[in-house]
Structure 1
Amino acid sequence: MTKRNDAPSNPDRRKLITSAAAVLSVAALQTPTAEAKSKSGGTQTGSVDVIVVGAGLSGLTSARELVKKGKSVVVLEARDRVGGRTWTTAVGARRYDLGGQFVGPTQDRIRAMAKEFGLEIKPVFSDAKHIWELGDERVEFEGSVPALSLLQKLDLGHIINKMNALAKRVGPTTPWAVSDAAELDAITLAQWVKENSYKKSSRDFAKVMTRAVLGVDPDEISVLLWSYYVAQGDNIEMLIGGRGGAQDSVIEGGSQQLSLRMAKDLGAAVKLSQPVRRVMHDAAGVTVETDHGNWRGRYVVMAIPPAMNTAITFTPSLTGDRRDLETRAPMGRYAKVVITYEKPFWRELGYAGDVGSLRGPVVASYDDSSNEGPALLGFVGGDDERLWRKLSAPARKAAVLECFARWFGSEALKPLAYEEKDWTVDEWTFGGPTIALPPGVLSRYGAALRQPIGRIHWAGTEAAQRWTGYMDGAIRAGEQAAADLLTRLTK
């Protein structure tokens, strides 16, 4: 539409119209059409080149890449929406991400997809004071270096340097292949940090870091797993960093837009509310059973978290390392909260909005303001999530708001709206953001993360060779699965 030259400029009105249009377009993509609704009931049968299980970023990427090369696909999704672990939804009168959200500067696959769809990637506000809360000690600082004592800084720097060196040696692709993999996989990260540090602040830092990044405590994972995860994100500084790090930016309007756009392009190939119950596979192909019928394909891509495969019957059953992996691959304990406000009062107080806290239950927070309006987000992870989850809904909200009030003052207790999503109790995910393998698992069974079994291929962010646990990793794994299948399909 061409703007009339004599129309007065009204930024607020334009913003309202743009926001309303975005909400309506997203709602249209998420609401099944009458045709789609009729297809979701009754028996469905069909035959395609590739069946994709899971309509998250990874599964949809695989399907999209295959269709580009002229292959036929069907995407089966258990939920009534696409997006998997990304979910942009209403928080009061506005819309925000309650799932995966952040985009780092070296995450080129998600950046390329966002650019292709014409979506804006916007830096998270961070040009103000940051807060660390380690026990009873509150540290406020600007820049990237916290205002710790000299001895604390030296000890923390020592630990980070050793972690980075170990991650570089373990590498991002085959950590189980390093000569001392079994040894590194037998020791917990908590034990390793204790043996390699002198100050309690360094051990507290490790606990905040793993709760915020993986949704677990350091005594639940091995140093091999942590080194592998760090290597996937380049180094500690990149993995946990705000500006210039993995939490540098977000997609304006929400990250679920990526999945919605791909699903729109794929059209009727995407089937919602279709939980897969059985996968029958043989030398000739695969048959996938859902609540609404069967699908036959030459291959299948399982683009769901490994643990979710244990709820599906495979015939013949999965054996060996893949079965052992899936029964030993818990997800992190992870919840996300978004709180909206009338104004960004924390900025007026000189704070960026980002906090790392050991006191909990919120272990990390960020400024989540967008074109929708001012907001803060928080993560509840590890043991804090387990305890927080047992509270009543009003008590959970009160506990979260108390954290923000402790950091930014009493105005935090007066939000416009509050919304939480505990991924740990999500029936189609069982946690987040990714798997957190206990000691002894990665060195023994890690190779099974990506290794096909006959005509079954694996995707999902867990199968990525870079940025696993992030949206970028999900896209990478989806692209790789499609590339591998195209090689087999053209033989």
Structure 2
Amino acid sequence: MIENTRQPEGQRERQPKRQPKRQPEQADVVIIGAGFAGLTAARELRQAGRSVIVVEARDRIGGRTWLDTRLGRPLEIGGTWVHWTQPYVWAEMKRYGIGTVQSPVPETAFWWADGKSHQGSPEQLLNEIDASNRQLMEDSRLYFPEPFSPLAHLGASDIDATSLAKKIADLRIADYSKDILESFWALNFNGPIDDAAFTQALRWVALTNGDWKICFEACATYKLQGGTLALLQEIAAGSDVRLNTTVVAVEHDENGATIKAADGSVFQADHVVCTLPLGALPGVSFEPPLPDSSRKAVSDGQVSKGTKAWIKVKGTPQPFVALGSADWPLNFAQTEYEADGDTILVAFGPDASRLDTTDLVQVQAALELLVPGQEVLEVASHDWTADPLSGETWPMHRPGFLSEALAAFQASQGRLFFAGSGFANGWGGFIDGAIESGLEAARAIQDGSLA
């Protein structure tokens, strides 16, 4: 369980009124957040000769990636999957000699469409999605001919106000196909698609040369050998990381930056890199304030407000994949691990507020809709949406973010820079995007890019 290190107001009032004043710590760069973006930026800057301090509110590194021992084995509670179409994470894996582990290949599939359940082969389910998804994504390369430069072609701004739900509604397809397609994209956005940016979906598929099947393979097939922690520890080696240090304020001007933490710690630096997700930024005050477009994006938040759960079920069912209705508490599940005669599934749902994953009765009912006949034994999960240090799962943007806010977050704001998966040019929402963004921030500081 991740605990918020910020003190409740009542506890603050009970503290002694006079605290010894701490001397600010000095560094060339202070990085807020020890996820993949922050640790990558720290390594690059440190290797370039800069002094760097990484401050992290949690009691661990990794941010929204978290390898933890649950249900009797190491499980990825947050971000998990990687792919060779993701050049930044793939290069890091090669740098440190880390391979991949493939998820089990499903042998049967369950899905819900047109008001009834269906069962067949996984290939049949993919074929049921294929024609409508190809129609939906047919212009991905037209709008994003250079997927790692999404702002280079202004044509994308013409459709950035469009929601994914509207584009699907406008397709001339049967309700059966529409039901499957809506659930497929609710899974990818980990949230309802009514407020999901169509451009976000196009960007993902453009990154796999317009092939939605390869994009889907990148989302849920290959895991890091040794888990995400293995790669995190390699990247973090040698960096000065301060855990349990929650930043509450950032002030910067032409002379440098001051970073203040809830425990009274103060850091001063030439530059500061903030890698917090949109959902956590309301907990930090910025002076001068962020640009209007950035503040609006923070206020709107991300679409991704869903659930990821590891579910142990009794026995060893045939490996399966299941896709339910877009509005079910769980709309996806697949088998992942054998566990002493039982099986561990990974499952996702679009709205964390609709499923209490600590209640086995609720989880049993939700799974029964997807795959009848499975007996739930245990569940492991974390409510990333309710966690004030994240406020979201993986970053999935709303309409308008690409054309109105991304450039502002990517630009230096005096001494302040932003990095993170949500601000990446390429694989936004993935480990790859976080690494890319961390590299970009480090390069901008090294190049002396100041507004």
TM range (shorter): 0.7 to 0.9
Give the match's secondary structure for 1:369: strand
The equivalent residue for 1:381 is 350
Q: Tell me whether 1:355 sits opposite 2:322 in the alignment.
A: yes
- The alpha-carbon deviation at position 301 of structure 1 amounts to 0.7
CA distance in 1, matches of 2:229, 2:151: 33
> Is 1:138–2:118 an aligned residue pair?
yes
Three-state SS of the structure 2 residue aligned to 1:100 is: coil
CA distance in 1, matches of 2:339, 2:42: 32
Contact 1:52 1:59 in 2 (8 A): yes
Aligned partner of residue 385 in structure 2, secondary structure: helix
- SS of residue paired to 2:294: helix
Match of residue 207 from structure 1: 182
Could you tell me which of 70, 90, 105 is aligned with 2:84?
105
1:470 is aligned to 430
Given the superposition, is the C-alpha separation of residues 300 and 376 from structure 1 closer, same or farther in structure 2, using an over 3 Å criterion? Answer: same
Segment drifting more, 232-241 vs 134-143? 232-241
Question: Structure 2 CA distance, aligned partners of 1:265 and 1:164?
Answer: 46
Q: 1:78 aligns with which of 57, 80, 83?
A: 57
State how far apart, in whole Å, the 2-side matches of 1:73 and 1:370 are.
43
Give yes or no for contact 2:110–2:370 (8 Å, CA) kept in 1: no
Counterparts of 1:53 and 1:234, CA distance in 2: 34
Q: Please say if 1:436 is aligned against 2:436.
A: no
| Counterpart contact for 2:412–2:449, Cα < 8 Å | no
1:13 is matched with none
TM-aligned CA deviation for residue 130 of structure 1 = 2.9
TM-score, structure 2 length as denominator?
0.85
Matching of residue 452 in structure 1 with residue 429 in structure 2: no
Paired position in structure 2 for 1:91:
70
Aligned counterparts of 2:362 and 2:21: Cα–Cα separation in 1: 41
Question: 1:162-193: CA deviations, max 9, x gaps?
Answer: 41324542453555665554542333222222
Change (3 A) 1:89 1:474: same
Equivalent residue of 2:347, what SS?
strand
2:241 aligned with 1:270: yes
Alignment counterpart, residue 309 of structure 1, candidates 281, 290, 296: 281
Aligned residue number for residue 250 of structure 1 = 223
TM-aligned CA distance change 1:167 to 1:430, over 3 Å: farther
- Paired residue total: 426
> Would you say 1:169 and 2:143 are equivalent positions?
yes
Secondary structure in 1 matching 2:282: helix
With over 3 angstroms needed to count, the CA separation of the structure-2 counterparts of 1:71 and 1:144, relative to structure 1, is farther
Counterpart of 1:366, as a letter, is Q
RMSD of the alignment, in Å? 2.9
Give the secondary structure class of the aligned counterpart of 1:423: coil
User: Corresponding residue for 1:289?
Assistant: 260
Q: Find 1:398's aligned residue among 364, 369, 387.
A: 364
Q: Report Cα offsets for 1:227-272 as digits up to 9, x if no partner.
A: 2343345435246523xx3322012332133223333432xx1001
Kindly state the Cα deviation for residue 282 of structure 1 after the two structures are TM-superposed. Answer: 0.5
Q: Distance in 1 between matches of 2:335 and 2:94?
A: 23
Q: 1:440 to 1:460 in 2, by over 3 A?
A: closer
Rate the CA distance shift 1:280–1:239 in 2: closer, same or farther, 3 A: farther
Offset at residue 315 of structure 1 (A): 1.4
Give me the whole-angstrom Cα distance separating, in 2, the residues matched to 1:265 and 1:317: 33
Unaligned ranges ≥5, structure 1:
1-40
Q: Rate the CA distance shift 1:219–1:138 in 2: closer, same or farther, 3 A.
A: same
Partner residue in 2 for 1:346 = 317
Contact 1:122 1:251 in 2 (8 A): yes
- The answer for the alignment partner of 1:56 in structure 2 is 35
How many percent of aligned residue pairs carry the same amino acid? 24
Which amino acid in structure 2 is aligned with residue 208 of structure 1? S
2 CA distance for matches of 1:487 and 1:147? 48
* 2:331 is equivalent to residue 367 of structure 1: no
- TM-score, structure 1 normalization: 0.79
Q: How does 1:119-130 map to 2 (within 5 A)?
A: 119-126=98-105, 128-130=107-109
What's the offset of the Cα at 1:108? Answer: 2.9
**Contact residue 121 and residue 251 of structure 1 kept, 8 A:** yes
TM-superposition CA deviations, 1:366-413 (whole Å, max 9, x none): 23227999521111114xx33225x8734433334434641xx3xx31
Contact 1:464 1:477 (8 Å CA) reproduced: yes
| Counterparts in 2 of 1:246 and 1:49: CA distance versus 1, 3 Å | same
SS of structure 2 residue aligned to 1:368: strand
Structure 2 Cα separation of the partners of residues 101 and 297 of structure 1: 33
Q: Cα offset for 1:114?
A: 2.9
The AA in structure 2 aligned to 1:73 is: V
Q: Which structure has the highest helix share of the two? A: 1
Q: Deviations over 1:49-70 (max 9, x none)?
A: 1110000111011101111112
Partner secondary structure for residue 270 of structure 2:
strand
Answer yes or no: is the 8 Å Cα contact 2:330–2:348 preserved in 1: yes
